[in-house]
Amino acid sequence: MRAFASDNYAGAHPEVLAAIAEANADHAVSYGADPWTAKATDLIRDRFGAQASPWLVFNGTAANVLSLGALTRSWECVVTPDTSHLHVDEAAAPERMAGVKLLTLATPEGKLSAAQIEPLLARQGDEHAPQVRVVSIANSTELGTVYAIDELRAIADVAHANGLLLHVDGSRLANAAVALGASLGDITTAIGADAVSLGLTKSGALGVEAVVFLNDPAPAGFAWLRKQHAQLASKMRFLSAQVVAMLEDDLYLRAAAHANGMATLLAQSVTAIPGITITRPVQANAVFATLPPSLADAVRPDFPFYTWDEATGEVRWMCSWDTTEQDISAFITALQSAAASAV
């Protein structure tokens, strides 16, 4: 099966598996006091700055929830797009586990703008109203779009001018960096972000993400917060070995560049098929399109993908680090055959 449903469907990169196997050769001190974790910490700081404070966790929801929990108090809230993963796909974990209210805004193409923030602040200081504390955006977004560097900086500037913090959900941060021709630090630390959830799994890790606080000092007590949320790995070396494999020789960025390129090829290829319309800008590794339901149903068993919007028939096709040109060619052939049969 070759799926276009999610980049989570892809397996772990062979270099990651090799790194885990190598880390398994002997005993090592537990809970992060090992050489792999020290090296992973250095590599993350190389990308985000010497002041960065990284904390490894098992998954992206944990990274987001722990980030927001550390940055807020119980009466504060987080501004985020209404299409954000935080709001739509984390089963109310921010509210349940971090105890933080989400304030969602409608956004074109999934991207929050700096101009949307200040109108929300009219009741800052009013004890009857939740207080805005964090702006959380994803780059790339849930709709496959990418914030330009000037857009990111404008959001950070407005946030900081009003005493707010900026969190970046970076589950696909590498895809955004590649799309912009920028480094990870260019689109986080340099633009003024305060925290990032660094996603690695979608780019080929087996299962590791990182909470990275970008300013010194990091929020107090985070070690205990991570432990309370059951995200402290006893055999941390196996998480850290994945980080080392992904970052040491920029495998992370190379994998994202490949996925982005495959998405571009897919978008170019499907436009020639009658009845298929690309619905959103293709800027990272996602392609959104509409097509007749009968056509979608005909090819979905062999090439699984999700319907994004049942009302419009919009679907999402995701490309991964292991998507090949042959995969796309086979998918296009199946679509063309199904389209011809429907005539």
CATH number at residue 64: 3.40.640.10
Domain C-terminal end among 222, 247, 272? 247
pLDDT above 70 covers what percent of the chain? 99
Domain C-terminal end among 194, 217, 247? 247
Q: What is the mean pLDDT of residues 296-325?
A: 97
Domain C-terminal end among 247, 276, 310? 247
What is the reported pLDDT for 340? 87
Give this prediction's pTM.
0.97
d(CA 303, CA 331): 7
What total number of domains does the chain contain? 2
pLDDT above 90 covers what percent of the chain? 97
pLDDT (tens digit, 9 = 90+) per residue, 168-202?
Answer: 999 999 999 999 999 999 999 999 999 999 999 99
Q: What is the mean pLDDT of residues 219-239?
A: 98
What is the reported pLDDT for 334? 97
Q: How confident is the model at residue 214 (pLDDT cuts 50, 70, 90)?
A: very high
Range of the domain at 336: 251-342
How far is residue 298 CA from its own chain's centroid? 30
Shared-domain flag, residues 198 and 104: yes
Contact residues for 239 (Cβ-Cβ < 8 A; gap 6+): 37, 40, 56, 58, 207, 208, 233
In a domain, 6, yes or no: no
Shared-domain flag, residues 211 and 331: no
In a domain, 8, yes or no: no
What is the reported pLDDT for 288? 98
Shared-domain flag, residues 243 and 280: no
Residue type, 316: R
Please give the torsion angle defined by the CA atoms of residues 1, 332, 278 and 85, in that order, rounded to the nearest 10 degrees.
10
Shared-domain flag, residues 78 and 178: yes
pLDDT (tens digit, 9 = 90+) per residue, 111-128?
Answer: 999 999 999 999 999 999
Q: Is the pLDDT of residue 1 over 80?
A: no
What is the reported pLDDT for 343? 61
How far CA 343 is from CA of 10, 271, 296, 314, 334, in Å, comes to 34, 18, 15, 21, 15
What is the reported pLDDT for 224? 98
Q: Is the pLDDT of residue 38 over 90?
A: yes
Shared-domain flag, residues 277 and 240: no
How far CA 298 is from CA of 82, 203, 285, 294, 305, in Å, comes to 31, 29, 23, 6, 12
Shared-domain flag, residues 218 and 322: no
Q: What is the mean pLDDT of residues 94-118?
A: 96
